[in-house]
A and B are shown apart, each in its own frame.
Chain A
């Protein structure tokens, strides 16, 4: 290494000076996309609304006058009554609906969050490896995904319930285990396209090992489709969780989720409409917001800006 000579010291000194010069930060693609997203009115409103819902779900329980488990014997099956502090009414057991709603929303968000993270992590790793290596490895890995896809989902969940008993953890695993399949497919598709790009060849010419290439060059360029897909499947996850809970396979009493609340409310909708309306509004709002955000992200991340 003939270059690491005295010149090196001179260059180091220069580098110090340059640091003080404060080379301006470039405008990354991520920042560009963020700007575009915020410019999208529908997405911006959705982000705010969703933010409000999330914050409310987190701090709400500390602010309600009524505790989630507390039974108000004097107000069973009562519609909203501000005087008594039951802003959204009470359910058949005398529990405050607002408190239950906060808890239910928390649960749904948690399930959605964890399941998404699980599916993203597994999906990206699996898909990027299959896509990059191609050939037989890819074929094998993707056949496995195809087989998994073909398995009846309900059967799988029921087996899990039977083996592990009912618990929220089961939900995370069960749903995450389904979602990663589609994520893997999407990531693999993107990887196949990226693999052909010249900057990947440049990395190979620079001696980078396959693992380095996948982590440093391919994965960072996957964020677009992954983020979009993740945002658009969170609604799906929430609905799936609701469905499972409705069937009795998911969250069980005394814990609750939006799905459980809705299924309870639907059963007595004629007599006690308020039990259905509030959770339904929250669920629908969240789903709409997520959909708009997903759409906005897709537009914002579209590299057509050049």
Chain B
């Protein structure tokens, strides 16, 4: 695989859920993701950011085939995962792992820490002996900063931060190439968040991992990502390298999002001019016609209600989905930048 071929190539992924409404009534359709395309190169960290209903968690699961997209392809090292049968997909699971948001819910309360961490090895590398597995578990525990003596303890005996380390050890044990991190620090205290973020960066460098970092927290995403995808109601509305996104956002939603993030600096906070958005995020069951963001957008014009904007290139390695991105004078953000 050359440096040019992306490791992960997501093409036009669409995911729809049916919601039962009653015995004789037609089920509602919820389009969680609509026509999502992006690429991730080896060693990169892609940030996926958005608020509730944007579909970011669904996207993470579609990449790993924990959910199957209705349309589109997920090309991993050139192979389309969506067409694989479960047995064939299993061969790839060694290389594709996931870390969850709620550390304690992601650990089986009835298994010991050792059992939890070695579980993927038992399934995916059955040729390993029990001793070899144990050795690997201890290696991983040390790598994530857990004392090996804790190996027989149960999840409920740990704090949130430690439990998340267990989850990370489990994700790393098969030596994956790509890890989807689904809001890995959102449920943790601030001081622990920083520890875990540092740990993830360290591990990424040490094991040469490619990460997909999903979060609603823009400051965190900015801290770890190389490139960022912004989602709104299941649609990709902007895609750019980190610094460009934060310094020069092209989409009105991105800009609003960036200014809405409270910044821990009183003087800057006072200077800031926030683009306040009207209203709230619409329900994904019934999104606005045309551009999903138009109901809250300060720059909306009639065409925004008629036609959904296509995602188009807005510079080198960046794209945006907005009818008016060229015309809008988006002021530089007074701090996000």
Q: Which residues of A come within 8 Å of B, CB atoms?
A: 1-4, 8, 11-12, 14-15, 18, 21, 23-30, 197-199, 201-209, 212, 216-217, 220-221, 223, 303, 306
Chain A binding surface SS class: helix
Q: Are A27 and B157 in contact (CB under 8 A)?
A: yes
Which chain A positions have C-beta within 8 A of B132?
A: 4, 8, 11-12
Q: Does B287 make an interface contact (CB < 8 A)?
A: no
Q: Are B90 and A207 in contact (CB under 8 A)?
A: yes
Which chain B positions have C-beta within 8 A of A25?
A: 152
Q: Are B66 and A205 in contact (CB under 8 A)?
A: yes
A-B contact pairs, 11 of them (CB 8 A): A8-B135, A12-B132, A24-B153, A27-B157, A198-B105, A198-B106, A199-B107, A202-B106, A205-B98, A206-B120, A209-B123
Query: How far, in angstroms, from A25 to B151 measured CA to CA in the complex?
Result: 8
Query: How far, in angstroms, from A137 to B142 measured CA to CA in the complex?
Result: 44
Q: Are B152 and A221 in contact (CB under 8 A)?
A: no
Query: How far, in angstroms, from A205 to B86 measured CA to CA in the complex?
Result: 11
A3-B175, A12-B135, A201-B66 are known; give 18 further A-B pairs, CB within 8 A. Answer: A2-B175, A11-B139, A26-B153, A27-B157, A28-B154, A198-B100, A198-B105, A198-B106, A201-B106, A202-B106, A202-B167, A203-B119, A205-B66, A206-B124, A207-B120, A209-B123, A220-B108, A223-B110
Known A-B contacts A1-B125, A12-B131, A12-B132; the reply to A26 vs B105 at CB < 8 A is no
Q: Does B189 make an interface contact (CB < 8 A)?
A: no
* Central interface residue in B100, B123, B135, B151, by most chain A CB within 10 Å: B135
Q: Does B272 make an interface contact (CB < 8 A)?
A: no
Q: How many contacts between A and B, using CB within 8 angstroms?
A: 114
Which chain A positions have C-beta within 8 A of B61?
A: 201
User: Residue-by-residue, is B105-132 near A (CB-CB < 8 Å gives 1, otherwise 0)?
Assistant: 1111111110000011001110010011
Q: Does B170 make an interface contact (CB < 8 A)?
A: yes
Which chain B positions have C-beta within 8 A of A205?
A: 64, 66, 93, 96-98, 120
Query: How far, in angstroms, from A205 to B67 measured CA to CA in the complex?
Result: 11
Q: Are A27 and B66 in contact (CB under 8 A)?
A: no
Which chain A positions have C-beta within 8 A of B113?
A: 26
Which chain B positions have C-beta within 8 A of A8?
A: 132, 135
Q: Which residues of B come within 8 Å of A, CB atoms?
A: 61, 64, 66, 86, 90, 93-94, 96-98, 100-102, 105-113, 119-120, 123-125, 128, 131-132, 134-136, 138-139, 148-154, 156-157, 167, 170, 174-175
Query: How far, in angstroms, from A102 to B69 measured CA to CA in the complex?
Result: 65
Known A-B contacts A18-B138, A205-B64; the reply to A212 vs B109 at CB < 8 A is no
Which chain A positions have C-beta within 8 A of B134?
A: 15
Q: Whose C-beta in chain A lies nearest to the C-beta of B109? A: A29
Query: How far, in angstroms, from A202 to B66 measured CA to CA in the complex?
Result: 10
Contact of B110 among A4, A15, A221 (CB under 8 A): A221
Known A-B contacts A198-B105, A207-B93, A207-B120; the reply to A14 vs B100 at CB < 8 A is no
Known A-B contacts A26-B157, A203-B119; the reply to A3 vs B136 at CB < 8 A is yes
Q: Which 8 A-B pairs have the closest CB atoms?
A: A26-B153, A11-B135, A206-B120, A198-B106, A207-B93, A220-B110, A26-B154, A207-B90
Which chain A positions have C-beta within 8 A of B138?
A: 11, 14-15, 18
Query: How far, in angstroms, from A291 to B260 measured CA to CA in the complex?
Result: 57
Query: How far, in angstroms, from A255 to B124 measured CA to CA in the complex?
Result: 56
Contact of B100 among A27, A202, A216, A221 (CB under 8 A): A202
Contact of B123 among A24, A28, A30, A206 (CB under 8 A): A206
Query: How far, in angstroms, from A212 to B132 measured CA to CA in the complex?
Result: 21
Query: How far, in angstroms, from A168 to B257 measured CA to CA in the complex?
Result: 73
Which chain B positions have C-beta within 8 A of A11?
A: 132, 135-136, 138-139
Nearest CB in chain A: distance from B114 CB, A? 9
Query: How far, in angstroms, from A21 to B138 measured CA to CA in the complex?
Result: 13
Which chain B positions have C-beta within 8 A of A207?
A: 90, 93-94, 120, 123-124
Nearest CB in chain A: distance from B169 CB, A? 12
Q: Are B151 and A23 in contact (CB under 8 A)?
A: yes
Query: How far, in angstroms, from A29 to B110 measured CA to CA in the complex?
Result: 7
Q: Are B66 and A204 in contact (CB under 8 A)?
A: yes
Which chain A positions have C-beta within 8 A of B170?
A: 202, 206
Q: Whose C-beta in chain B lies nearest to the C-beta of A198? A: B106
Q: Are A221 and B109 in contact (CB under 8 A)?
A: yes
Which chain A positions have C-beta within 8 A of B157?
A: 26-27
Which chain A positions have C-beta within 8 A of B125?
A: 1
Query: How far, in angstroms, from A227 to B331 measured CA to CA in the complex?
Result: 64
Query: How far, in angstroms, from A34 to B125 measured CA to CA in the complex?
Result: 36
Which chain B positions have C-beta within 8 A of A197?
A: 105
Q: Are B100 and A201 in contact (CB under 8 A)?
A: yes
Query: How far, in angstroms, from A23 to B146 measured CA to CA in the complex?
Result: 13
Q: Whose C-beta in chain A lies nearest to the C-beta of B151? A: A23
Query: How far, in angstroms, from A3 to B124 measured CA to CA in the complex?
Result: 14
Nearest CB in chain B: distance from A224 CB, A? 10
Query: How far, in angstroms, from A12 to B132 measured CA to CA in the complex?
Result: 7
Nearest CB in chain A: distance from B261 CB, A? 27
Q: Whose C-beta in chain B lies nearest to the C-beta of A197? A: B105
* Central interface residue in B109, B128, B149, B175, by most chain A CB within 10 Å: B109
Nearest CB in chain B: distance from A226 CB, A? 13
Q: Are B148 and A23 in contact (CB under 8 A)?
A: yes
Query: How far, in angstroms, from A30 to B148 measured CA to CA in the complex?
Result: 23
Nearest CB in chain B: distance from A6 CB, A? 12
Contact of B108 among A2, A14, A27, A217 (CB under 8 A): A217
